[in-house]
Structure 1
């Protein structure tokens, strides 16, 4: 073979080697891209975070459900963030946006309005984050993975039956209702009416919203008592308002007025034991929150909750006779 042919072969081998190196480099680039894509995919997957969003913890009911959800989630190995929307739909939207940006595994929500919450819940669901509603429903199904609430109608009827008994089936009374944007307020009010309307000698002389707030209930009751000083009873949509009514009655030096609430709060139970409240309907805040966490955990792991979307937990009546059997929104 001539020197010229050897040189040509050497050049060809060099070109071939260079080509293989280029192909190899291209292959490395593709592998790197695939790896980057996989890493990116992992980065976009859900975190181990469960976001718990409720109304203000100043209300012991909301604090109890937030604490129960937080404790249960941590026991199952999740990290948590606990925040309050303070019944402000705009703040709720911001908190849900934050949960989405943090790629939460799930959101546990006691919402800020049956209609106002539909949009944010839909947004989270479309982002692939399952939402589990507790305590309050929204006015749409098929968005949240669960809506777990107390059986407000059943609980209200229990409370109303005891209220009727306390008033001796006759006399003037006042009703304090919750936030109009909260479906629970309407359901409880209807439950009260379904029972009390069967007694024609009972007359509701005033019905006003106190927006679940104790101070507002106190102020409203002060005004009502000036106009109707001889009322025999007050039935309230939650214990916080009932406690406001108790304070107003005490300020006006009125005794012997039957006061009934709803929630089963420790403060209400204390008043029942003291004889200044007649009864309350316990809605098990801790149980509902724990159920939501358990179903969220199952959904994260299997893609299903194993339960229907709408779920109701029966309430229990608390009176002086059984008050010692109850603690923080639960039986002892």
Structure 2
């Protein structure tokens, strides 16, 4: 199921007016447990914040915990949700393969699981998997990156965590577009695990090996912002085009400042809220209300030309 950009605009406008409104008082309908990756990252913070606000608005109690990519922590959090008799679990999985056992444990305990943001490599276990259309977003980003850097350049790539399918999907999406330009030369690449500090360190190392690069294409904003810090320190930012992915507040500010060429906005507020609504529908009717387990939500592009048009309806809030 594909959520189009037009529907994203409509839903985003609704999100601002409704999802962050005062929580309506209602009879407690039970617990919805929300498990995200790392709340210190503004993207995942927003994911948990929106899911919690939506659940509470529907009359549930809700809690948010983070596994920080560790499947053992994730498994314990699932155990806690089972012990607390959660009505549903909203889960951003730690590992595409390694999280399957934890999801199965919840399902065996009679608790429906709704996956958001990152997939698990198992169909028919979770009630729904709601994710950004990463291939579409990567193509958008790569095309914008080429417009910014030109069709003849040397560049490096910063990649996300290998345990997350999104990392490979975005990297492959970049490759599909950039490979069409034979004068674009990829001279280096490294995994920075979605992390700003690692992006900074990896960028420093790649600059030592390749001091004359023209561009950096990154799998997410945090790594891109780390790269920008390293480039600034080396006095090279004015000569290097950097592109990001997520639509975080810091990234949008960097676009406004002319430091980041663009960011690809993931509609995290939209699919996080939608996952809770589908969980609510399932709790009440035994059905999610949609026809497909996997649901894709289109991304949008934030550039210097349109960045001032992006309000809190689109930009992640912390």
TM-score normalized with structure 2 length: 0.88
Residues 67-106 of structure 1: pairs in structure 2 closer than 5 A = 67-106=49-88
CA deviation after TM superposition for structure 1 residue 224, in Å: 0.6
Q: Deviation per CA, 1:116-145, whole angstroms, max 9, x where unpaired?
A: 100000110111100000000000100000
User: Within 2, Cα distance between the matches of 1:72 and 1:242?
Assistant: 30
Matched, 1:330 2:309: no
CA deviation after TM superposition for structure 1 residue 162, in Å: 0.6
CA deviation after TM superposition for structure 1 residue 227, in Å: 1.2
Q: Which structure features the higher share of helix residues?
A: 1
CA deviation after TM superposition for structure 1 residue 256, in Å: 2.4
Matched, 1:313 2:297: yes
**Contact 2:247/2:315 (CA < 8 Å) preserved in 1?**
no
**Contact 1:266/1:328 (CA < 8 Å) preserved in 2?**
no
User: Within 1, Cα distance between the matches of 2:307 and 2:45?
Assistant: 21
CA deviation after TM superposition for structure 1 residue 331, in Å: 5.7
**Contact 1:266/1:327 (CA < 8 Å) preserved in 2?**
no
User: Within 1, Cα distance between the matches of 2:279 and 2:93?
Assistant: 17
Matched, 1:267 2:263: no
**Contact 2:248/2:315 (CA < 8 Å) preserved in 1?**
no
User: Within 2, Cα distance between the matches of 1:60 and 1:105?
Assistant: 27
Segments of 4+ moved more than 4 angstroms: none
CA deviation after TM superposition for structure 1 residue 246, in Å: 0.4
User: Which of 185, 188, 191 matches 2:170?
Assistant: 188
Q: Deviation per CA, 1:141-168, whole angstroms, max 9, x where unpaired?
A: 0000000000000000000001111111
User: Within 2, Cα distance between the matches of 1:99 and 1:331?
Assistant: 30
User: Which of 184, 192, 201 matches 1:210?
Assistant: 192
Instruction: Describe the SS at the equivalent of 2:274.
Output: helix
User: Within 2, Cα distance between the matches of 1:70 and 1:266?
Assistant: 20
User: Which of 109, 116, 123 matches 1:134?
Assistant: 116
Q: Report the counterpart of residue 258 of structure 1 in structure 2.
A: 241
Residues 1-332 of structure 1: pairs in structure 2 closer than 5 A = 48-254=30-236, 255-307=238-290, 308-327=292-311, 330=314
| Larger-gyration structure (1/2) | 1
Supply the RMSD in Å over aligned alpha carbons.
Answer: 1.3
CA deviation after TM superposition for structure 1 residue 60, in Å: 0.1
CA deviation after TM superposition for structure 1 residue 326, in Å: 2.1
User: Within 2, Cα distance between the matches of 1:291 and 1:108?
Assistant: 11
User: Within 1, Cα distance between the matches of 2:148 and 2:305?
Assistant: 14
Instruction: Describe the SS at the equivalent of 1:174.
Output: strand
User: Within 2, Cα distance between the matches of 1:298 and 1:164?
Assistant: 43
User: Within 1, Cα distance between the matches of 2:309 and 2:118?
Assistant: 26
Q: Deviation per CA, 1:176-232, whole angstroms, max 9, x where unpaired?
A: 000000000000000100100000000110110000110011011011111111100
User: Within 1, Cα distance between the matches of 2:35 and 2:116?
Assistant: 10
TM-score normalized with structure 1 length: 0.85
- Gapped runs of 5+ residues in structure 2? 1-28
Larger RCO of the pair (alpha carbons < 8 Å, separation 6+): 2
- Gapped runs of 5+ residues in structure 1? 1-46
User: Within 2, Cα distance between the matches of 1:259 and 1:66?
Assistant: 28
User: Within 1, Cα distance between the matches of 2:190 and 2:94?
Assistant: 20
- Give the total of aligned pairs: 287
